[in-house]
Amino acid sequence: MVTVSPSLQRLWQRGCDFLGTKLAIMGGAMTWVSERHLVAAISNGGGFGIIACGAMPPDILQKEIQGTKALTDKPFGVNLITMHPQLDMLIDICLAEKVGHIILAGGLPPAPAIKKVKDSGAKLMCFTPTAALGKKLVRMGADAIIIEGMEAGGHIGPVSTSVLAQEVLPEIRDVPVFVAGGIGRGEAIVSYLEMGASGVQLGTRFVCATECIAHPKFKQAFIRAAARDAMPSIQLDARFPVIPVRAIVNEGGKRFMEKQRDVIGRFDKGELTKEQAQLEIEHFWAGALRRAVVEGDVETGSVMAGQSVGMVTKEQPTAEILAELVQQAENALQQRGN
């Protein structure tokens, strides 16, 4: 276990207390990647692992939680997507399994979901893209806020982490705020802590952890990639909105562009309704992330990665990654004379 100096401890004490961990470093919830092995490894290393529920049905989520418990006795959380049709049942599973922290992501959480989590005594964490919405979520009951900039991998918003941090950190002080998106080194962690963050969240940096079950080809794609290779998907027609997804450029991305052109052309000819056209575009990526992560199809699958992917240079144990991040943070503080 890594040793933390009093200077760094002071900076992230609030985050550590909230998470119940030695390090205020959360593992980002990455579908097909953030499962029991990686989650447990992050928690065992002193950080805070988070299970990515994604599209899991309740029974599979329950097995994943139980499997994680078998690998660690340290705190971990579960990330639930608010748009999941069985959200209520997923929350029930988390509460039955005594999960201490529940993260509601992917949109404004419904009030009944917030109430259920709050009434149980579990801690609720929510994402916000603005300070105003963050304040509303705190009023609704969020115990902590996460802000994630567009440098992150997967589905992204339009604002960078550095701008979000400047907008939100001075405005939300009554609950812990965790910063995510494009963080790959300890120096950045220190900077956000000094701005007022209680902790940070990293996803991309942990993909090439030894304990991560991602396919070797998926990991190699990360190791080979530079920051500029992780690009957001492009929307071709405003009539058919596409939530941007940041991923490593590959043949799959090119085919997505071709798919949009084809669907838009058929819609313009009257061959498809607007709803049918939108559905075809949205379904293109269904299963593409699993193909990449689980099956190793890094050519036509979706290799979702944040811009910090350029800092991923080798496969290494999770504990070593955490130790490196802490050492970089400590070095930064020493250079400041702290």
Which of 207, 198, 194 is closest to 179 using CA atoms? 198
Paired strand residues for 201: 26, 180
Q: Say whether pLDDT at 1 is over 80.
A: no
Which of 199, 219, 187 is closest to 325 using CA atoms? 187
pLDDT band at 272 (very low <50, low <70, confident <90, very high): very high
Same domain? 141 vs 236? no
Same domain? 106 vs 90? yes
Q: Say whether pLDDT at 309 is over 70.
A: yes
pLDDT for position 338: 62
In this structure, is residue 202 part of a structural domain? yes
Neighbours of 278 (CB within 10 A): 17
Report the CATH number that the domain containing residue 45 is assigned in CATH.
3.20.20.70
- Give pLDDT tens digits for 179-206: 999 999 999 999 999 999 999 999 999 9
CA-to-CA dists, residue 27 to 142, 166, 267, angstroms:
19, 22, 41
Q: How much is the average pLDDT of 15-36?
A: 98
In this structure, is residue 139 part of a structural domain? yes
Distance CA 74, CA 61 (A): 18
Same domain? 75 vs 187? yes
pLDDT for position 284: 87
The structure's pTM equals: 0.95
- Give pLDDT tens digits for 225-267: 999 999 999 999 999 988 889 999 999 999 999 999 999 999 9
pLDDT for position 243: 83
Please state whether beta strands 199-202 and 177-180 pair in parallel, antiparallel, or not at all (unpaired).
Answer: parallel
Domain holding 112, by residue range, is: 6-212+312-336
Same domain? 184 vs 285? no
For residue 114, the surrounding DSSP H or E stretch is: helix 111-120
Q: How much is the average pLDDT of 208-232?
A: 98
Q: How much is the average pLDDT of 77-84?
A: 95
Q: How much is the average pLDDT of 282-287?
A: 85
Which of 133, 136, 138 is closest to 159 using CA atoms? 133
Mean pLDDT of the chain: 96
Same domain? 137 vs 247? no
Same domain? 288 vs 197? no
Instruction: Report helix, strand or coil for 26.
Output: strand
Which of 244, 215, 82, 26 is closest to 151 using CA atoms? 244
Distance CA 222, CA 76 (A): 25
Residue spans of beta strands (DSSP E) within 92-158: 101-105, 123-127, 144-148, 154-155
Distance CA 121, CA 144 (A): 14
Q: How much is the average pLDDT of 312-322?
A: 98
Higher pLDDT, 64 or 338: 64
- In the block, tokens 């190793």 appear at 296
Contact 180, 202 (CB under 8 A): yes
Q: For the chain, what is the largest distance between any 2 Cα atoms, rounded to a whole number of angstroms? A: 68
Same domain? 21 vs 75? yes
Higher pLDDT, 222 or 284: 222
In this structure, is residue 161 part of a structural domain? yes
Contact 288, 301 (CB under 8 A): yes
In this structure, is residue 79 part of a structural domain? yes
Q: Say whether pLDDT at 286 is over 90.
A: no
Please state whether beta strands 144-148 and 101-105 pair in parallel, antiparallel, or not at all (unpaired).
Answer: unpaired
Same domain? 101 vs 184? yes
In this structure, is residue 217 part of a structural domain? no
Neighbours of 265 (CB within 10 A): 12
Same domain? 53 vs 180? yes
* Range from 83-92, 116-125, 160-169, 281-290 carrying the lowest mean pLDDT: 281-290
- Give pLDDT tens digits for 102-128: 999 988 999 999 999 999 999 999 999
In this structure, is residue 219 part of a structural domain? no
* Cα-trace Rg, the chain: 20
CB-based contacts of 314, cutoff 8 Å, min separation 6: 208, 223
pLDDT band at 282 (very low <50, low <70, confident <90, very high): confident
Q: Name the strands in the sheet holding 245-248, side by side, starting at the edge strand that comes first in the sequence.
A: 154-155, 245-248, 230-232
For residue 138, the surrounding DSSP H or E stretch is: helix 131-140
- Give pLDDT tens digits for 240-250: 988 889 999 99
pLDDT for position 62: 98
- How many structural domains comprise the chain? 2
pLDDT band at 88 (very low <50, low <70, confident <90, very high): very high
